[in-house]
Amino acid sequence: MKACLTLLVFAALAAASPAHAKGSPDLIVISGGGLARAVEITDPASLRAFDPWSGQFADWKQDAVAEPACYRRSYEVLFYMKWPGRKSPLDRGELKMIYATCYCFADGAGYVYLPAGDEAPHVNMGTIIRADRSGKWSHSTPGWDALIRNALALKEQPAQADMILIAGGELKQPLQVTDGEALRNFDP
C-alpha cells in the first residue's frame, strides 16, 4: 500500500506543470507620454538589471509619494517574457506581458506607479504582489531614470525646419523662407 501511495504521489508530481522560472524579461516596452510610437528596450544587460522580481525600478527605502506633478503625462512601461501558459490581452505572440508600471519624470525626480489589482492591466497581481505599493507612486531609482530617459532620447528624431519666419524691425510684412537648400544650410 505504501509503495502504491508513493507511486501515486510521484505520478501526480510528474503530471503537474512545472512552475515558470523567474528570470530576465525579454522586452520592455515604453508607450504613452506623448510618444508617437512605442520604444522597445531589448539590450540583455538592461533587461537583466531591471527584471520585475528584483524591483530595481523603485526606491523601496523611501515611502510612497502623492501623485507627482507629471502623473498625467506618464509613460506606460510593460515587461514581456517568454512564459508558456501565461496569457494577457497585451501579449505579443510568444512574448507574454508579465508586469506593468507607469513612469514619469519632473523637477529632477523620477517616479514609478504600480497599478492596483483592480486597475488595468491586472497582470501584476499574478506575477508579484507588492500590496504596500500597489496603486501608489514611488520614487524611481537613478538607474531606472537613466535607462528610461536614455531609451526615450535615442528614439527622438532631430527636428528639421520646414520654414523660417522673419518678422519685425523695418519689415512691413513677415518674410517666409521655405527653400529646402536654404533651410539645410541654415544653422541657428
The full DSSP string for 170-183 is T-SS-EEE--HHHH
What value does the CA radius of gyration of the chain take, rounded to a whole number of Å? 24
The burial class, CB within 10 Å (0-12 / 13-18 / 19+), for 59 is: middle
CA distance 42 to 100: 16
Domain ranges within the chain, ordered by starting residue = 2-155, 162-188
Q: Whole-structure pTM over 0.75, yes or no?
A: no
pLDDT of the residue at 23: 81
Enumerate residues 6+ apart whose C-beta is below 8 A from 114. 58, 101, 124, 130, 133, 134, 135, 136, 138
Q: Are 176 and 165 in contact (CB under 8 A)?
A: yes
Mean pLDDT by 10 residues, the chain (188 residues): 33 34 86 90 92 90 93 91 87 91 92 82 62 88 94 66 70 72 63
The helix/strand/coil state of 75 is strand
What is the structure's pLDDT at 15?
A: 31
pLDDT value for 188: 53
Read off the C-alpha cell for 85: 501558459
Q: Which three cell numbers stand for residue 22?
A: 523567474
Count of CB atoms within 10 A of residue 110's CB? 23
> Per the omega criterion (within 30 degrees of 0), is the bond before 121 cis?
yes
